[in-house]
Amino acid sequence: MWRVGDGLPLAEALRHAGEDAGHDLVLAELTGRTPQEVTALAEALRHAGEGAGHDLAQAGGRPREATGPGTPAVVLVATPEHAVLWPALARQAGGSGQVIGLRRFDRRALARWADEDDIGLPGEADRQAVLAVTGGWPALVGDVVKGLTEGEGERALASCRTRLERSPEAFVRSTGVLSGAAVAAAWRLLAAQTEIADSAETLAGLLALAGADEPGHPLSEAALRAEGHSSTADLVEVLRMLGALAPGPDGRLEREEVLAAATRRLGPAG
């Protein structure tokens, strides 16, 4: 594996990976990079891939199977702050790449963790209680588990619940749903609805209607284009990849309610 950084430029990393027989990996961390830097890097990778058969997986993606000797895969590891760029990066990569979204803890993931480590969640009821308070968001689950392993017991869950009620902004921002004006407007609108359970197409239509009559609205066509989105369907896809929207048992997209409730506590956008 070759990690792109100050001491190893992208072009050199690709050259080294291409010289190795079989399948190799080039890893580029995007944390702290500006949107312009990320876009430029993705464009450079696309051109490199066209010339050398590189396989691009974005936003924490995993490499595909090697297609021949000396075939490197490139992984861009992005944080939620880059969520607004993901649809455009996926289109830019074309058939050579994919975006793999972030995942929240679910019952099975917590059970596997509890099997491997003593995290203070021995039973199904304990794990369900943690998921009910945290929504499965990794940062919140991590804080609760840390408290449990330090002997806080019920206080760990109570502390998380209180923090979400009194100071929700840091958590909401950490998920990426406020990472751009259009994404933030879309999520605030969906979080404010009485109930959301619809297809991606229906939700995109709802968002489009919200911006149809106000030229300066963050969900207007002009505002979407200015941020690099092709339509409100991009916003629904970003929210799905972030974990804010997830398919329910019937396949329709539903909100993650811990995040939705925290967002409503922020009040209207300033």
* Same domain? 162 vs 181: no
pTM: predicted TM-score of the whole model, two decimal places: 0.81
Q: 260: closest CA among 246, 244, 248? A: 244
The burial of 269, by beta-carbon neighbours within 10 Å (0-12 exposed, 13-18 middle, 19 or more buried), is given as exposed
Q: How confident is the model at residue 67, as a pLDDT?
A: 44
**Distance in angstroms (rounded) separating the CA atoms of residues 192 and 211:** 16
Q: How confident is the model at residue 56, as a pLDDT?
A: 45
Q: Name the β-bridge partners of 75.
A: 27, 57
Distances (CA, A) of 156 to 108, 143, 144, 153, 253: 21, 8, 5, 6, 30
The full DSSP string for 43-55 is HHHHHHHHHH--E
Give the chain's domain count: 3
Q: Of the residues 96, 120, 135, which one is the last residue of a structural domain?
A: 96
| 102 in any annotated domain | no
* Same domain? 7 vs 80: yes
* Same domain? 180 vs 261: yes
| 199 in any annotated domain | yes
The full DSSP string for 157-169 is HHHHHHHHHH--H
**Distance in angstroms (rounded) separating the CA atoms of residues 162 and 145:** 16
Sign of the four-CA dihedral 262, 265, 173, 148: negative
First-to-final CA distance of the chain: 45
* Same domain? 81 vs 137: no
| 101 in any annotated domain | no
CB 144 within 8 A of CB 133: yes
Strands in 65-201 per DSSP E:
71-77, 197-198
**pLDDT, tens digit (0-9, with 9 covering 90-100), for 5-57:** 778 877 788 787 777 666 778 888 888 888 777 777 777 776 665 554 444 44
Neighbour tally for 3: CB within 10 Å: 12
Q: How confident is the model at residue 98, as a pLDDT?
A: 74
CB 217 within 8 A of CB 211: yes
* Same domain? 159 vs 226: no
The region that residue 239 occupies, defined by phi over 0 for left and psi between -120 and 50 for alpha, beta otherwise, is alpha
* Same domain? 20 vs 71: yes
* Same domain? 53 vs 81: yes
Q: Of the residues 140, 166, 192, which one is the last residue of a structural domain?
A: 166
**pLDDT, tens digit (0-9, with 9 covering 90-100), for 112-164:** 999 999 998 889 999 999 999 999 999 999 999 999 999 888 899 999 999 99
| 180 in any annotated domain | yes
CB 55 within 8 A of CB 104: no
The burial of 32, by beta-carbon neighbours within 10 Å (0-12 exposed, 13-18 middle, 19 or more buried), is given as exposed
What one-letter code names the amino acid at 110? Answer: L
Q: How confident is the model at residue 71, as a pLDDT?
A: 66
Phi, psi torsion values for 117, nearest 5 degrees: -135, 155
* Same domain? 8 vs 90: yes
Domain span at residue 84 reads 2-96
Q: How confident is the model at residue 50, as a pLDDT?
A: 57
